C-alpha cells in the first residue's frame, strides 16, 4: 500500500489549481509512514520547494486534522519497517555472505564501523561478482585497483582510498586513513605505501587469470567498448587525441554538440562490470556507519576515481537521520551526491522511499540513459530502494529475521 504524503502550503491555493510541474512553497510536510508533521523554517529555507507530484501521491490535499486521523503503521511498497530493536545491516545487491559477516560482528556487540569493515572485507575476499576486491575489473592496462570508503555517522569522520595499487584490503586501508590521519582520502600508489606501512599485506599483484583473460579479449576487440569520447582514432586501442575543439581560437565548441554528447552518453554499466558493495549498519546502541568497496569500472582509463570512495555519493551516514548506499554508474552519480541528497531529504521529513526516488529522479532528468540505484535507511531502521535503468536488489539482516532477506526494486 502506498504511503500518504501530505503537503501544507502557505496559501489557500492547492497545487491542483496550478499548471503541471508548478512549484509550490511549503510551510510544512507530513508523512503517514513516520506519523510526523515537520514545519519548514522559511527563514532558513526561504526557497525550499517541492514538485507537488512527488508529494501528493494520491492526488488529494488533506488538512492537518485529517492527516492526524489517518496516521497508521503502513508499510510502503519495497520498504520494510524495523521495530527499532537493533542491530540492522543493509547492503546493495545479494551479497549474502558479506551481510552475514557484518551481522555476526554487530550482533556480537561490535560497533557499526567494525561491522561495515567486516562485511566489506568479506566481500573483498569473496570477490563479490568480480566487482569487489582483487582479481576483477581490469583497467585499460590490465591492472586491477581498489576504491573504498568508511564513514562514521556519529563523528562524521571519513576514511577513503582510491585507485589503490598492490593492496587488496581496501576497506581496512580506508579505516586506517580515518583512524591514523587527519586526511579523508588517499590515492594511487601513495595510498598503497601508506596501507603497507600501517601493516596491511602487500605489495601484491591484484590481477587474476580471469581478469587477464577478460583484458586480453578486450584488446583483441580493438579495446571496445571504452570510456573515451570525442577522440581519434575511433575503434582502436589508441593512443588517442582530441577530435574537437583542439584550439579554441580556431574553432568554438558548439553548445548543441556538447549537450548531445552529454545526454546521449552510452551506458557500459552492468552487474558484472560496474558495481559496488555499499553497506550500512546500525549497531545495538543505535549508532550508524557506512562502508563501500569496489574495483571500479571495467576497462576504465588508468587513474580514474569513481564514486566508491566519495562520501555523499556511494554512501553517507548521519546518526541524527540515517544512511544511504548507492551503486551504478559512478561517473554520473558522483556529480549529484545522491546519498547526501537522500539523507538530507530524510532530515527534512521525507520517508526513505520518497527520498530514494527523489535522488534517483534528479539524476534521470539530466541523464535519462544512466543506470544506478540507491538504498535509504532512516535512524528507525525503515529502509527502501529506488533505481533507474536496471532491476536493483538489496540485502537486509535484522534481529527480526532468521537470515538475510533480499528485496527487489523495479525501475
Instruction: Output the known binding site.
Output: 304-307, 327-330
Contact 122, 133 (CB under 8 A): no
Contact 358, 350 (CB under 8 A): yes
Annotated binding site for substrate: 304-307, 327-330
Catalytic residues: 276
Grid coordinates belonging to 16: 491542483
Grid coordinates belonging to 291: 562502508
The radius of gyration of the chain's CA atoms, rounded to the nearest angstrom, is: 22
CA distances (Å), origin 75, targets 4, 56, 62, 88, 350 = 11, 17, 20, 18, 14
Contact 313, 339 (CB under 8 A): yes
How many residues are there in the chain?
411
Contact 136, 127 (CB under 8 A): yes
CA distances (Å), origin 79, targets 75, 199, 235, 354 = 6, 41, 45, 10
Residues facing residue 160 across a β-bridge: 149, 185
Q: 339: number of CA atoms within 13 Å, CB side?
A: 35
Place of cell 574553432: 251
Contact 120, 292 (CB under 8 A): yes
Cis peptide before 224 (omega within 30 of 0): no
How would you list the strands of the sheet with 185-187, edge to edge? 185-187, 158-164, 146-152, 288-294, 277-282, 88-92, 392-398, 405-409
Cis peptide before 203 (omega within 30 of 0): yes
Distance CA 137, CA 141 (A): 11
Q: How far apart are the first and last CA of the chain?
A: 18
Grid coordinates belonging to 35: 506519523
Q: 329: number of CA atoms within 13 Å, CB side?
A: 23
Distance CA 145, CA 220 (A): 22
Place of cell 537493533: 86
Grid coordinates belonging to 229: 569520447
Amino acid at each position: 500500500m502506498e504511503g500518504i504524503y501530505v503537503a501544507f502550503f502557505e496559501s489557500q491555493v492547492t497545487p491542483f489549481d496550478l499548471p503541471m510541474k508548478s512549484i509550490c512553497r511549503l510551510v510544512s510536510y507530513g508523512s503517514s509512514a513516520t506519523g510526523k508533521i515537520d514545519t519548514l523554517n522559511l527563514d532558513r529555507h526561504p526557497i525550499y520547494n517541492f514538485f507537488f507530484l512527488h508529494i501528493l501521491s494520491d492526488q488529494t490535499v488533506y488538512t492537518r486534522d485529517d492527516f492526524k486521523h489517518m496516521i497508521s503503521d503502513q508499510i510502503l511498497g519495497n520498504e520494510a519497517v524495523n521495530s527499532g530493536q537493533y542491530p540492522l545491516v543493509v547492503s546493495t545487491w545479494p551479497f549474502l555472505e558479506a551481510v552475514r559477516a557484518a551481522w555476526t560482528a554487530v550482533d556480537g556487540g561490535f560497533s557499526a564501523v567494525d561491522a561495515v569493515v567486516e562485511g566489506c572485507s568479506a566481500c573483498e575476499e569473496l570477490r563479490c561478482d568480480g566487482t569487489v576486491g582483487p582479481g576483477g575489473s581490469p583497467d585499460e592496462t590490465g591492472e586491477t585497483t581498489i576504491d573504498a570508503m568508511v564513514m562514521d555517522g556519529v563523528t562524521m569522520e571519513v576514511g577513503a582510498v582510491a585507485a589503490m595499487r598492490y593492496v587488496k584490503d581496501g576497506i581496512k586501508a580506508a579505516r586506517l586513513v580515518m583512524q591514523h590521519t587527519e586526511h579523508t582520502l588517499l590515492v594511487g600508489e601513495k595510498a598503497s605505501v601508506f596501507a603497507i606501512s600501517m601493516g596491511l599485506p602487500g605489495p601484491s599483484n591484484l590481477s587474476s587469470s580471469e581478469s587477464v583473460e577478460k583484458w586480453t579479449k578486450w584488446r583483441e576487440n580493438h579495446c571496445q567498448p571504452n570510456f573515451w569520447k570525442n577522440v581519434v582514432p575511433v575503434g582502436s586501442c589508441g593512443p588517442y587525441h582530441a577530435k574537437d575543439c583542439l584550439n579554441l581560437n580556431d574553432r568554438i565548441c558548439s553548445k548543441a554538440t556538447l549537450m548531445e554528447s552529454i545526454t546521449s552518453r552510452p551506458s557500459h554499466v552492468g552487474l558484472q562490470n560496474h558495481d559496488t558493495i555499499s553497506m550500512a549498519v546500525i549497531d545495538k546502541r543505535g549508532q550508524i556507519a557506512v562502508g563501500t568497496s569496489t574495483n571500479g569500472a571495467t576497462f576504465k582509463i588508468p587513474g580514474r576515481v569513481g564514486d566508491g570512495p566519495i562520501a555523499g555519493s556511494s554512501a553517507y551516514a548521519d546518526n541524527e537521520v540515517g544512511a544511504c548506499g548507492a551503486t551504478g554508474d559512478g561517473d554520473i552519480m558522483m556529480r549529484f551526491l545522491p546519498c547526501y541528497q537522500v539523507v538530507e531529504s530524510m532530515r527534512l521529513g521525507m520517508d526513505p522511499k520518497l527520498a530514494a526516488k527523489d535522488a534517483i529522479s534528479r539524476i534521470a532528468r539530466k541523464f535519462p540513459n544512466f543506470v544506478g540505484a540507491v538504498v535509504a535507511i532512516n535512524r528507525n531502521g525503515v529502509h527502501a530502494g529506488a533505481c533507474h535503468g536496471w532491476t536493483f536488489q538489496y540485502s537486509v539482516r535484522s534481529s527480526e529475521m532468521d537470515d538475510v532477506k533480499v528485496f527487489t526494486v523495479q525501475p
